[in-house]
Amino acid sequence: MQKEEFLHIVMPIKDKLYRLAKRILVSHDEAEDAVQEVYLKLWNGKELIKKYNKPEAYAMTMTKNYCLDRLKSKQASNLTIVHQNYKSNDSRTEDQVEAKDGVGMVFEIMKQLPEQQRIILQLRDVEEYEYSEIAAVMEMNETAIRVNLSRARKMVREELIKKYNYGLTKN
């Protein structure tokens, strides 16, 4: 496989890969490092990509697995993912000004979700994958996907209501 063919596959999905990485690793820098690694892995195994009907799913799976591994090894070495100020973490995104506003809170809440739910929520609500596509990336069956999705969404709502009420009562 030549460079062009490879880029043709990877370039359209690079942002998705990044977003998934960031959803798992939280840090922007970490996510970019991870994506670079994933590119390398994909290139080294470029003969394999050809065998997949959906190279995107393959790439996303690889990203997911790599990032989860990174997460585990970070936890193993007792590095906690610092509860970062949303603003400083993503200084590029302009839509988040105050950490305490509703949208910022969703980000915080998502961080608290178990990785699996976090990823599935990301793939559905942000990337708008079909259930079958999510199943392919997660290597789980669709029922399990739906169950996780349901749990995740409910959790976010619960937590939001809690903080919302808190915010409301405070005000």
Partner 1 sequence: MDLQKIEQLLDAYLEGTTSLAEEKMLQEYFKSGKVAPHLEVYQDMFAFFASAKSEKTSVTPEISETNKQPFYKYMRKWGAVAALLVVALGVTFFINNNSNKISTAEQIEAELAFEKTKEALNFISYQFNSSAQNLAVIQEFEKSTNKIFK
The CA distance from 31 to 105, in Å, is: 21
| DSSP SS3 for 63 | helix
* Closest to partner 1 by CB, 69 or 125: 125
Residue with tokens 């996303």: 60
Angle at 164 between CA 170 and CA 27, to 5 degrees: 110
CB of 68 to partner 1, least distance (A): 19
Among 11, 76, 79, 82, binds partner 1 (CB under 8 A): 11
Binding of partner 1 by 57 (CB under 8 A): no
Binding of partner 1 by 10 (CB under 8 A): yes
Cα-based torsion angle of the residue sequence 87, 11, 6, 42 in order, rounded to the nearest 10 degrees: 20
Tokens of 34: 């991870």
Sites of contact with partner 1 (CB under 8 A): 3, 6-7, 10-11, 14-15, 17-19, 22, 31-32, 35-36, 39-40, 42-44, 46-47, 93, 95-96, 101-103, 105-107, 122, 124-128, 130, 145-150, 153-154, 156-157, 160-161, 164
